[in-house]
Chains A and B, each alone.
Chain A
Amino acid sequence: MTAPQKPQDGLEVLLDALLEELMLMTDQQVLDGEDPATVQAKGLAMLSIAKQEAARRRLAAVKAGLAMARADVHAGGDKPVTGAQAKAFIREAANSGKYTLAARQLDEMSDEAALAIFRKLIRLGAQPTRESDDQL
């Protein structure tokens, strides 16, 4: 038997091994007597909460980005917007359907490139959702 590859860390090794075992097990073995409907309902309830929380976080990011943009315009471009804020704003603008951008492209984009697109979007009149605007 060959020795396994060097682990990244102990927890990751255990999680990898557990996941592989879980994938080899049947649903019946994994559920181990739990009611499938109850387990699924709990999972979907968590997913629903996650959707709401994720939306709240996105709106907060947009709010921060827009506030920075307004300050930027006000200060004649002297006020710095961070790369992370610019990316959050671009991601939300892309998700609005009015603008398109590959997610990977955004993940791998430099802060400088994100800031350039951010400023372009602002010049083009990119706006947050009504809900987020109400919160500003």
Chain B
Amino acid sequence: MELPNPTDDEALSRAEREALLGAMTPGDWERANSLARLAALGLADMSSDDMLQEALTDLLAMIRTWRRGVHPLVTLKLAMHSIASNARKKAANAPIDQYVTVSSGEEDAPDGHPQPVQALDALSPADFAEGREQLAWIEQVVKGDDDAELVLIAWAMGYRGSEARMETGLDAKQFDAARQRLLRKLKPVAAVRNTK
């Protein structure tokens, strides 16, 4: 077996993966935390810390492919999406929906948490698998903040960066502030679950 010269679409070795992850800046670690908060939102058995930990472990165990030249955050995002999708499919196929807080329909949601739902859940397994349930969770988190809701909707529609800003109709300053508030609102939800 002869080792050919590495090419751009070849997977990284374990040592290369360790080196790239170990060289991540504090800003990149916080970016990874933000992605993990979103990916883990609504998952009953996985906190955002669990999500990031699992993605790191899968990458170092060589279970997931990491193409040469791909940024660590892009690779982590792909890994976390896959982990979240698998967890959702598994849960959606389970006989009991573990994601919802069952309610009589009278009480209010605790601060920062989605509204409890009636015992009969209208979401189909496809909703879980396709991420619509995730969006519903985040909509609850940003509820009442019109600008943050606009940013979220633009993202959900697939608009990015300056296109997302144009879609919201917000000026740059308003958009940055709304984006920051949206990211901040995800933190308390994740923090509660990470300490459990």
Q: Which residues of A approach B to under 8 Å, CB–CB?
A: 1, 3-5, 7, 9-32, 34, 36-37, 39-40, 42-44, 46-47, 49-51, 53-54, 57-58, 91, 94-95, 99-104, 107, 117
Contact = CB atoms under 8 A, between A and B. Distances in A.
Choose among A11, A43, A53, A58 the residue with the greatest number of B CB atoms under 10 Å from its CB.
A11
Main secondary structure of the interface of A (DSSP, over half): helix
Interface residues of B, number: 69
Contacts of B183: 32
A36 B34 contact: no
Contacts, number: 176
Nearest to A58: B61
A17 B160 contact: yes
Contact of A91 (B49, B62, B156): B62
Given A43-B29, A104-B10, 19 more contacts: A1-B163, A9-B129, A9-B131, A11-B134, A14-B155, A18-B38, A21-B160, A21-B179, A25-B179, A28-B27, A31-B27, A39-B30, A46-B53, A46-B56, A57-B61, A57-B63, A94-B1, A100-B1, A107-B11
Most buried by B among A23, A43, A94: A43
A91 B166 CA distance: 48
A39 B109 CA distance: 31
29 contacts: A1-B167, A9-B85, A9-B129, A14-B131, A14-B134, A16-B158, A17-B154, A18-B35, A21-B179, A22-B31, A22-B73, A29-B176, A30-B34, A31-B26, A32-B30, A36-B26, A39-B26, A40-B25, A42-B29, A43-B24, A47-B21, A49-B57, A50-B59, A53-B60, A95-B13, A95-B14, A100-B2, A102-B3, A103-B62
